Amino acid sequence: MATSELAQIEMLASVDSLIHQLKLWSEQQTDWKTAQQSQAVIHQLLPRLDMLRVRLESPLVIATFGGTGTGKSSLVNALIGSYCTTSGRQRPTTTEPVLIAHPDTDLDRLGLDLSQFHVEQKKLDELRNIILIDCPDPDTSEAMDEAGNLTRLQQIIPLCDILLYTSTQQKYRSARVSEELKEAAVGRRLIFVQTHAGLDEDIREDWRQQLSRQFDVPEIYFVDSVRALEDQLADRPLEKEFASLQNVLSTQLGKSERLQVRRANLLELIQNAIDHCSHKNSTALPAIRELESFLKQQQVSLTSQMSQELRKELLISRNLWERRLLSCVSDSWGFSPFSTMLRVYNGLGNFIASASLFRARNSAQVALIGALQGARWIGNRQKEQAAEDRLKRIGSFGLDDNKLRESQLLIDGYAQAAGLATHQDHFAGSLEKLQTEAAYVEEQFLSDAGTKIDGIITKLAYKNSGWFTRIWYETLFLSLIVYALVRIGKNFFYDSFLDERNILAIDFYVTAGVIFLIWSGLLVMLFTRKLKRGLEAEINQLSDELAQAKLAHGLFPHLEQACQQAHALQHSLERMGGETRQLRNEIASSRILGAWKVTEPTMNAGSISSHLTSQ
C-alpha cells in the first residue's frame, strides 16, 4: 500500500475518531443549560458530518454566490461553453436554481431535492469531477416567503463544497452580501471572481484587502464572461484569466483535490461549531466558579459552626474526663511519691469525706456521714451517666434545618445565575441526603463514643507518663522532700550533739509542711494543666473530625458534581477543538482555493442552527 494512501487512511481514521468523540460529548447528561444548548448545536451538526462523509467520492458541488447583476449566470454559461441559464445585469433573472451535471453523475447521492432545481445535463469532461449550480441572489428585494430566493439559497448552500463568489466594481462592498458570505463560507472553499472585465476597472487589490480580514484569498480572477462564451462559441483562444479559472475547475479539482476539499470543509464545520460552543461555555464558566466558591465558603462556615457547637457540648463533661485521665495517668505511672500525690489530689473529695468519719462520736453521726458519702457517690455516677448520654446525643447534633434552608436560598440564586437546574426536589433531596449522611456518620463515628473518649484518655495517659516526664516531676517533687529530710537529719544527728539548743523548733516543721503542700500543689497544678490542655486539644480535634465527617461530600453534592462536570465538558471541548485545528491545518492549505479564517466564533446560536438545519 502506498505511503500517500496510508496517510489518507490515517487522516480518515482521525476524523472518524473526532466525530465519535463529539457524539459521545453531545450525549452526556448535564444540568448545565449552557452545555445543553451547545450539545443541541452538536446534535444538529452530526447528521451534516455524516452526509459529508458519504459524499467523499462524489463530484464537488460548486455554487455561484454573489449580488444581483454580478454575472453569476453569465459565468456559468461561459464555464460550460453554452447557454444553460438566463443572464441579466439589472434585475435578478435566476429565480429557479439551475443544476448542471454530467449525465453519468448519480445525483441522488448528493442529498439535493432535485424537484427544486432546473436540471441540465451536459456530456462534458469538465463536469465529471464537478457539478455547477447557478444560485439565486442573496440580496434580492423579493418578498422573503417560503419560496423566496434567499430561502432557496439557504437550502442549497449547506450541500455545496465550493462557492464561486462573484462581484463587480459596484457590488464588491455590498454589506448585505458580505454578511451572507460570512455565514455561507463556513465549511466551504471559496473562489473569488471579479466579473465584467470588459466594462469595469480592476479593483482586485482593494477587494483583497477587504476580504483578507476574514478570508484566506490565494487568487482573485478578473474575467469577462460574455466575451469568454463568445470566444468558445467562435472557437477562439480564451483570455488568460478565464482560461486559468476554467483550468482550476475542470482539471485541478480532480479526485485528490476533491477529497482534500471535502475533508477540509468537514473539519471547518466541526471547528466552527466547537469554537462557538467553547466560546459560549467559557462565557458562562465564571458564574460556575462563583457558585463553586460560594459552596466552599458555605461549607467552611457551616462546618465551623457545627464544630463549635459540638465542642461546646463535649466540653461540658470535661471535669469528669479530666479526673478519669488523671486516674489513668496515676495507674500508668505506678507507685511513686509524685503518683501518690496525684492520687491524693484526684481523690481529695473522697479522702476528706472519709477523714470526717474519725470525727464521728456516735452511731447517728456515722450514719449521717455515710448517707452524705453515698449521695456523693450517686451524684458522681449520675454525672458519668449524663456524660455518656451526652456523647450519644452528639450524633444528632449539628446543623439545623433553618441553617440549611438559609444556605439553600443563597445557593439557589448562584445556581440560577450559573444556569444549573435548581428544582426544589433537588434541594429537598440534598437536605434529606445530608440528614441521612449525618445518621450514617452517627452510626459509624459515634457508635462507640465512650470507647473513643477512653482511647483519647489512654493516648494522653501514655503520652504523659513517659520516663522523661516521670523522672522530671519525681525529681522536682523529691527535691524538696530530700532537702527537708537532710536538713532534719543533720540537725538531729549532728547539730544536737554539739549544742542541744540548736534543735529545730516546731515552727520549722510547720513551715516545712506548708512549703511542702505549696510545692506539691504547684507541681500537681502544672501537671494537671498540661493534661487539661492536651485533653481540650483532643476534644477540639474530635469535634472538627465529626463536623468534617458529616459534610465530607459537600453541602449540596449534586451541585458540586454539576460544577465539576461543567469544567470537564469545557476541557473536553477545548481538547477536541485543538485536535480539529491541527487536522484542519494539515488538510486545508490550498494554493488555488480561498477559505474562511477560523479566528473566533462569529455566528450566533440562531445562525448556526439555521445554517445546519437548512439542509
CA distances from 581 to 184, 270, 438, 494 (A): 20, 9, 49, 105
Kind plus residue range of the DSSP H or E element containing 16? helix 3-26
Residue the block writes with cell 522530671: 472
How far is 175 from 152, CA to CA, in rounded Å?
20
pLDDT of amino acid 386: 52
How far is 127 from 124, CA to CA, in rounded Å?
6
pLDDT of amino acid 419: 84
CB 254 within 8 A of CB 550: no
pLDDT of amino acid 394: 46
Span between the terminal Cα atoms of the chain, in Å = 37
Distant-in-sequence, close-in-space partners of 580: CB < 8 Å, separation ≥ 6: 18, 267, 270, 271, 274
pLDDT of amino acid 18: 87
DSSP state of 165: E
Q: Give the length of the chain.
A: 615
User: Would you state the cell numbers that stand for residue 314, as one nine-digit string?
Assistant: 463535649
Please provide the DSSP assignment of 541-596 as one string: HHHHHHHHHHTTT-SSHHHHHHHHHHHHHHHHHHHHHHHHHHHHHHH---SS-BEE
CB 127 within 8 A of CB 249: no
Question: Quick check: helix, strand or coil at residue 494?
Answer: helix
pLDDT of amino acid 567: 92
Delineate the domains of the chain, giving CATH numbers in brackets: 34-253 (3.40.50.300), 284-566 (no CATH)
How far is 123 from 115, CA to CA, in rounded Å?
21
DSSP state of 109: G
For Cα atoms 429, 435, 438, give the angle at the middle one, nearest 5 degrees. 140
Specify whether the backbone of 124 is left (phi greater than 0), alpha (psi in -120 to 50) or beta: beta
pLDDT of amino acid 277: 92
Query: Would strands 162-167 and 130-134 be described as parallel, antiparallel, or unpaired?
Result: unpaired
User: Where does 33-135 show beta strands of DSSP type E?
Assistant: 60-66, 98-101, 118-121, 130-134
Specify whether the backbone of 596 is left (phi greater than 0), alpha (psi in -120 to 50) or beta: beta
Residue 94 phi, psi dihedral angles, 5° rounding: -95, 100
Alpha-carbon torsion angle 544, 546, 548, 549, nearest 10? 160
**104-152: per-residue pLDDT in tens?**
888 877 777 888 888 888 888 878 888 899 888 765 554 444 446 667 7
Residue 330 phi, psi dihedral angles, 5° rounding: -65, -40
Please provide the DSSP assignment of 204-249 as one string: HHHHHHHHTTTEE-S-EEE--HHHHHHHHHTTPPPPHHHHHHHHII
pLDDT of amino acid 608: 45
pLDDT of amino acid 552: 56
pLDDT of amino acid 93: 55
pLDDT of amino acid 590: 54
Distant-in-sequence, close-in-space partners of 587: CB < 8 Å, separation ≥ 6: 11, 260, 263, 264, 267
CB 130 within 8 A of CB 62: yes
Please provide the DSSP assignment of 182-206 as one string: HHHTTTSEEEEEE--TTTS---HHH
Alpha carbon 371 to its chain's center: 70
How far is 276 from 44, CA to CA, in rounded Å?
13
pLDDT of amino acid 1: 46
Kind plus residue range of the DSSP H or E element containing 130? strand 130-134
User: Would you state the cell numbers that stand for residue 107, as one nine-digit string?
Assistant: 445525483
Single-letter code of the amino acid located at 381: R
How far is 467 from 535, CA to CA, in rounded Å?
20
For the beta sheet containing 60-66, the strands, ordered from the edge strand earlier in sequence to the opposite edge, are: 118-121, 98-101, 130-134, 60-66, 162-167, 189-194, 220-222
Q: What is the CA radius of gyration of the chain?
A: 46
Alpha carbon 268 to its chain's center: 27
User: Would you state the cell numbers that stand for residue 3, as one nine-digit string?
Assistant: 505511503
Q: Which residues of the chain have pLDDT under 70?
A: 1-8, 53-57, 86-95, 138-150, 254-256, 306, 309-311, 313-318, 347-404, 421-451, 496-502, 546-555, 588-592, 594, 596-615
Residue 374 CB neighbours (<10 A): 10
Using alpha carbons, select from 261, 258, 238, 245 the residue that is nearest to residue 76. 245
User: Would you state the cell numbers that stand for residue 197, as one nine-digit string?
Assistant: 472585465
How far is 345 from 211, CA to CA, in rounded Å?
96
pLDDT of amino acid 477: 85
Residue the block writes with cell 452528639: 394
CB 394 within 8 A of CB 316: no
Using alpha carbons, select from 465, 456, 471 the residue that is nearest to residue 324. 456
User: Would you state the cell numbers that stand for residue 21, as one nine-digit string?
Assistant: 468523540
